[in-house]
Amino acid sequence: MPTINVQLFEGRTPEQKRAFVQAVTEATVKTLECSPDSVDILIHEIRREHWATAGKLWSEE
């Protein structure tokens, strides 16, 4: 059973997340030759002040 963990900045709409998980599920089924029912996707929404790149918080961009 593939379990896919995704970390995104918060703020995506339910429609965007729905389209994303459908596309990822389709790609996983095609690539790994598994059933859609076996694909779990966990979306972790992260606030910009909790994510940094190169020593700088994204909230400071």
* Tally of CA atoms within 13 A in the half-sphere of 12 that contains its CB: 16
Annotated catalytic, 2?
yes
**What would the two tokens of residue 23 be?**
């596309």
Given the residues 1, 2, 9, 30, select the one marked as catalytic.
2
Q: What share of the chain is helix, strand, coil (3-state, %, to 5)?
A: 45, 30, 25
Catalytic residues: 2
